[in-house]
Amino acid sequence: MWIYTKRFQHPVDVKKTDLALAKNILTQFGGPDGELAASMRYLSQRYTMPTGKTKALLTDIGTEELAHMEMVSALVYQLTVDADPEEIEGSAFAPYYAIHGKGIYPAASTGEPFTAAYFQSTNDLKANLHEDMAAEQKARAAYENLMNLTDDPAVLDVLGWLREREVVHFQRFGEALTDLYDQLDNKRSFHIDNRDNEIIRPNKDINLTTNCADFNNMLD
């Protein structure tokens, strides 16, 4: 379960309207490298993670991405809420306004609505963690691109903070991947079955000699 805390993870307080910027920032809500995709990716992948630590990591980061989604949505709202129709007419925000008004809808800056096809969730822990690390780098790059599109200090503060969190998440997924490879190297403690990637703790039913070869196969 989740408990909602009625405050932002980092303050969002933008006063100046910027319609074009709002349309671009929207992509970090519902675009391919946005916070909705990140959150759904990690909260979906966590079930087949092999250890309590990796399950907790994905739960923690997936939850934090929900808080980031809230911040991005607030940014878009604050950048558009005071705009009047004359201001919107002819702006980059007009096509979005025609459908959604000033409502916050998960879409890319290029207009495509959010799709779960932006992420994958498999039972292959190595595939998941590599995807997660790449996703964090793409999100970092997207925030840097957005920072190039504004000089509003209030917006830059939020975008810069969100960018930093992507770097932290990348590091944490990298540590999890290193842990995983360490476990694969520890032939006395773990076995990975090539058929289902499930880590099985040794017991009397497992032939460790045979399983050592399987470890090495998994490391290719």
**Do 184 and 190 meet the contact criterion of CB atoms below 8 Å apart?**
yes
Q: Which residues bind Fe ion (CB under 5 A)?
A: 166, 169
For Fe ion, which is the closer residue by CB, 165 or 191?
165
* Residue with nearest beta carbon to Fe ion: 169
Take residue 54 and report the two structure tokens written for it. 């990796």
For Fe ion, which is the closer residue by CB, 18 or 166?
166
For Fe ion, which is the closer residue by CB, 83 or 167?
167
Whole-angstrom Cα distance, residue 46 to residue 56?
A: 8
Give me the least distance between CB of 171 and Fe ion, in Å please: 11
For Fe ion, which is the closer residue by CB, 9 or 123?
9
Binding residues for Mn(2+) are 35, 65, 68, 136, 169
For Fe ion, which is the closer residue by CB, 18 or 35?
35
Give me the least distance between CB of 10 and Fe ion, in Å please: 13
